[in-house]
């Protein structure tokens, strides 16, 4: 259904002026569902114009809850609706519950972002890029770069994952979350710049060493290994070794730690 077909604000304004209705597009109104049709419901909001609620506007999760409309009794079900559009050919106002849920979901998400709290979200599925989850009805994504060092075998056994908001972009309906940021915030009291801690080597590259410190992926850059030049790191260190390092930098936003073994 193309909701905006045959619709202009001028058409709607003309109808409002003709009948002296005190409503506008984008208003939230109370209405009563009084009839079920093939693709939606008829709704009474107290004006002579027929109001229509398409099935796809019932919920943010319409695709996964298509049977939701069966729970909507036509016996005077009353609730709030969002005035979405006006179809001049059918002289119908198009209503939406989904838009209301969307607006309210983003308000809650913005509050969660401001409070910077740790969330425990259900893992819906995993693709090559990361994990898909849902926050307040809005689809969220945890990229692989913010999942390390969770092992894939462990991840498959999990139903929920702790995470924090990394990006909440309402304009583009985009939610990015981070497991690493959540874990770092939990152990932040143990991690202070200048502290000496133990780290387990999990990967060696030409440019440095990746360590696991309190389940946080940390980088020991080659320039921070010693005061003298080092050409081959793998002749000095091996994967699985436990080494002492000094914390140089903590990036709480990205969930990253930089460390050094110089002058230890």
- Total number of domains in the chain: 3
Q: How far apart are CA 193 and CA 167, in angstroms?
A: 26
Q: Please state the rounded mean pLDDT for residues 167-171.
A: 95
> Has residue 225 been placed in a domain?
yes
| End position of a domain, from candidates 130, 159, 184 | 184
Examine the domain organization and report whether 94 and 15 are in the same domain. Answer: yes
Q: How far apart are CA 106 and CA 169, in angstroms?
A: 9
Examine the domain organization and report whether 139 and 157 are in the same domain. Answer: yes
Q: Please state the rounded mean pLDDT for residues 68-87.
A: 73
State residue 35's pLDDT score.
87
Per DSSP (E only), the strands in the chain are: 28-36, 40-44, 50-54, 77-87, 92-96, 119-126, 130-135, 138-143, 160-169, 174-178, 196-205, 208-213, 216-221, 242-251, 256-260
> Has residue 46 been placed in a domain?
yes
Q: How far apart are CA 187 and CA 183, in angstroms?
A: 7
Q: Which of 68, 83, 56 lies closest to 2, judged by CA? A: 56
Per DSSP (E only), the strands in 37-75 are: 40-44, 50-54
Residues, the chain, total?
264
Residue 104 has pLDDT above 70, yes or no: yes
Comparing 125-139, 142-156, 208-222, the range with the smallest average pLDDT is: 142-156
Q: How far apart are CA 101 and CA 103, in angstroms?
A: 6
Q: Using an 8 Å Cβ cutoff, are 260 and 220 in contact?
A: yes
Examine the domain organization and report whether 125 and 147 are in the same domain. Answer: yes
CA distance readout (Å), 135 to 102, 103, 244: 11, 13, 39
CATH code at position 165: 2.40.50.140
Domain containing 157 equals 116-184
> Has residue 1 been placed in a domain?
no
Residue 7 has pLDDT above 50, yes or no: no
Write down the H helix ranges in the chain.
9-19, 98-115, 152-157, 179-186
> Has residue 56 been placed in a domain?
yes
Q: How far apart are CA 208 and CA 204, in angstroms?
A: 6
Comparing 10-24, 116-130, 220-234, the range with the smallest average pLDDT is: 10-24
Give pTM, 2 decimals.
0.68
CB atoms closer than 10 angstroms to residue 240: 8
> Strand, helix or coil at 61?
coil
State residue 176's pLDDT score.
97
> Has residue 228 been placed in a domain?
yes
Examine the domain organization and report whether 207 and 226 are in the same domain. Answer: yes
Residue 244 has pLDDT above 90, yes or no: yes
Q: Which of 45, 50, 101, 42 lies closest to 72, judged by CA? A: 42
Examine the domain organization and report whether 243 and 173 are in the same domain. Answer: no
pLDDT bin (cut points 50, 70, 90) of residue 153 is: low
Which residues make beta-bridge pairs with 87? Answer: 92
Q: Which of 253, 241, 243, 185 lies closest to 215, judged by CA? A: 185
> Has residue 3 been placed in a domain?
no
- pLDDT averaged over every residue in the chain: 83
pLDDT digits (tens, 9 = 90+) for 189-227: 778 888 899 999 998 998 989 998 887 888 999 889 887
Examine the domain organization and report whether 180 and 195 are in the same domain. Answer: no
| End position of a domain, from candidates 45, 66, 101 | 101
CA distance readout (Å), 64 to 61, 119, 124, 187, 192: 6, 23, 12, 37, 45
| End position of a domain, from candidates 153, 184, 215 | 184
pLDDT bin (cut points 50, 70, 90) of residue 147 is: confident
């Amino acid at each position: 259904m193309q909701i905006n077909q045959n619709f202009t604000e001028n058409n709607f304004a003309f109808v409002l002026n003709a009948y002296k209705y005190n409503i506008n597009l984008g208003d939230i109104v109370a209405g009563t569902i009084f009839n079920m049709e093939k693709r939606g419901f008829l709704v009474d909001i107290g004006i002579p114009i027929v109001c229509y609620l398409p099935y796809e506007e019932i919920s943010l999760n319409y695709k996964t809850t298509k049977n939701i409309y069966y729970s909507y009794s036509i016996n005077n079900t009353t609730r709030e609706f969002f005035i979405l559009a006006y179809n001049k050919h059918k002289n119908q106002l198009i209503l939406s519950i989904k838009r209301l849920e969307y607006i309210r979901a983003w308000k809650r998400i913005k509050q969660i972002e401001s409070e910077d709290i740790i969330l425990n979200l259900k893992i819906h599925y995993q693709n090559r890029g990361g994990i898909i989850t849902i926050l307040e009805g809005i689809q969220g994504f945890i990229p692989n770069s913010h999942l390390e060092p969770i092992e894939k075998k462990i991840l498959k056994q999990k139903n929920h994952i702790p995470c924090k908001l990394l990006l909440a972009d309402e304009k583009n309906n985009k939610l990015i979350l981070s497991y690493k940021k959540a874990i770092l915030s939990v152990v932040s009291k143990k991690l202070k710049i200048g502290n000496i801690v133990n780290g387990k080597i999990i990967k060696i590259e030409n440019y440095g060493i990746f360590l696991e410190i309190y389940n946080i992926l940390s980088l020991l850059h080659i320039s921070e290994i010693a005061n003298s030049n080092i050409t081959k790191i793998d002749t000095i260190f091996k994967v699985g070794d436990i080494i002492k390092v000094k914390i140089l930098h903590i990036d709480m936003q990205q969930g990253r730690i930089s460390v050094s073994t110089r002058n230890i």
